[in-house]
Copies of this chain bind each other. A is one copy, B any other.
Amino acid sequence: MSTTSSHARRRPPTLRDVAEIAEVSIKTVSNVVNDYPHVRPSTRARVQDAIAATGYRPQLAAQQLRTGASGIVTLAVPSLTFSYFSHLAQTFIDEAQGRGRTVVLHTTSAGRDEEIEVLRGFRRRLGDGIIFNPMHVGEDYLAQMEHVDQPTVFIGEHLSDAHLPPGSDYVRIDNTRATADATAHLLEGGRTRLAFVGAMGRKDPAPHSSSGLRIEGFRQALWRHDQDPSRSPIVEVGDWHRADGREAVHRLLETHPDLDGLVCGNDEIALGALAGLRDHGRSVPEDVAVVGYDDSPEASFSHPALTTIRPDKEFLVRTALDMLIERINGYEGASRTITAPHRLVARESSPQP
C-alpha cells in the first residue's frame, strides 16, 4: 500500500532491511514470509508491518540459488503467428499461472538450428524444465542424445515414442488417425475424388514429419474405403500458411479440375484453399468439400464455416505440465508417451449427413 520511496528507484529492500525495522533476525523474517508456523502472532504482525512498510518482495534469483528451484518453466514452440500455437501458448500460460509457475516463452522461428540449441539447454541454465514442440528436429536427432539437459516434455506429432532421450516424456496427437477420420468423413459424405494439400516434400522429407503422418492417414482412409491412394493427388506447399493453401489450389485445379474433396494439412491451408476455390468459381461444399485441421478460431467464422479436427489442447497442456512437474520433483524413470484425444467438428464446408 504505502511506499517509503520518494523519487528515484533505490536498492530494493531485502530481508535484512525488514529485519532491522521489525527488530528481529533475518531468519525470522524469512520464516514469516514462508509461513513457518512457530512464530508468535505479535512477532508475525510486527514483521508483516515492516514488510508492508518497505515493500519487500523476495528475490527469485537468491531463492533459486539457495533452493535449486525457480518455479519457471519454458515453453518452446515454432511461432505464435500460427494460431494453433498462439492458442496452445495461451492455454499453457493459463494452466501454468494457475499452478503458480512463471512461463518463459521461446520461439524457434529460426528453424532447426534454433531447435537444437533449445535441446542443448540454451547457453545458460534457467528455469526448472521445458515443454518443447519441435518442428524440424526429428527422432534421428533425439535418438542420438544420451540424456536431455533438463526435465523435458515433448509435445506434438511427429516423434516416435521409441526414440525419446532418457529424462524426457512425450504427449502426442495421433495425426495419422485424426487425418484418417477427416478423410473418412468426406468419403462417407459421398466424395470420391479427393486430394491432400500440405505436403512438405523438399524441406522436410521425413516420413514422420507432421505432414508425412497426415498424408499417411489420408492414404489409410482411402485404402479402407476401397479407393486407390495413388490416384489421389498430394499437393506440396511452401509453408503452412493461408497463402500457401490458396496457391496450391490454383495449381491443383489445373491438373485435377474434377476434384470434389480436399483434405488440408491445417486450418490455415484450408482457409487459403477456400479462397483459392472461390477464385476459380468453385462453391463449397456443393462442388468441393473441404476439411482442415486444428479447429483454429477462424474455422467457425469462415464462409462457409470450416469442418476440422479439434485436438484437445487442454488435455495436452495439462498432461504435459503434470509430467514435467513429476520430472522436476525427481521422477527419473522411463520415458512415457501419452496420446491426447481429438474429435471431428463438422461444419458447413463438408456435406452434412
Where the two chains meet, the residues of A that have a C-beta atom closer than 8 Å to any C-beta of B are 3, 5-9, 12, 55, 57-65, 70, 72, 79-81, 83, 86-87, 89-90, 93-94, 97, 102-107, 109, 121-126, 146-147, 149, 151, 166-167, 242, 246, 271-272, 274-275, 278, 297-298, 301, 303, 332
Q: Which residues of B contact A80 (CB under 8 A)?
A: 80, 86-87, 89-90, 93
Q: By the criterion CB–CB under 8 Å, are B332 and A8 in contact?
A: yes
Chain B residues within an 8 Å CB radius of A59: 65, 124-125
Q: CA A196 – CA B94 in complex, angstroms?
A: 32
Instruction: Say which residue of B12, B86, B301, B332 sits within 8 Å of A86 (CB atoms).
Output: B86
Contact across chains for A303 and B301 when beta carbons are under 8 A apart: no
Please give the distance in Å from A326's CB to the nearest CB on chain B.
13
Assembled-state Cα–Cα distance A9/B64 (Å): 18
Taking a contact as CB atoms under 8 Å apart, the answer to whether B86 and A81 are in contact is: yes
* Contact (A107, B121) CB under 8 Å given A9-B167, A297-B242: no
A72 to B74, CA, bound (A): 13
Could you tell me if A81 and B70 are in contact, using CB atoms closer than 8 angstroms? no
CB neighbours (8 Å) of A103 from chain B are 104-106
Give the copy number: 2
A–B complex contacts, Cβ < 8 Å, 5 sampled:
A9-B332, A80-B87, A93-B105, A102-B106, A278-B303
Q: Which residues of B contact A94 (CB under 8 A)?
A: 107, 109
Per a CB cutoff under 8 Å, which of B93, B125, B275 touches A303? B275
Closest chain B residue to A146 by CB distance?
B3
A242 and B93 form a contact (CB under 8 A): no
Q: Is the CB of A61 within 8 A of B64?
A: yes
Residue of B nearest to A80 (CB): B90
Chain B residue numbers with a CB within 8 Å of A97 are 106-107
A87 close to B93 (CB less than 8 A): no
Closest A-B pairs by Cβ, 3 of them: A86-B86, A61-B64, A80-B90
User: Could you say which of B61, B149, B332 contacts A61, with CB atoms under 8 Å apart?
Assistant: B61
Q: Taking CB as reference atom, which chain B residue is nearest A274?
A: B303
Known contacts A9-B332, A60-B125, A104-B102, A272 near B301 by CB under 8 Å: yes
A8: chain B residues within 8 A (beta carbon)? 332
Beta-carbon contact of B104 and A146 below 8 Å: no
- A87: chain B residues within 8 A (beta carbon): 80-81
Q: How far is the CB of A59 from chain B (nearest CB, A)?
A: 5
A125 and B90 in contact (CB under 8 A), knowing A7-B147, A166-B7, A278-B303?
no
Chain B min CB distance to A42 (Å): 25
Bound CA span A275–B305, Å: 10
* Given pairs A9-B151, A58-B123, A61-B65, 15 additional interface contacts (CB within 8 A): A9-B147, A57-B121, A57-B123, A61-B62, A80-B80, A80-B89, A86-B86, A86-B90, A90-B109, A93-B106, A94-B109, A97-B106, A102-B106, A104-B105, A298-B298
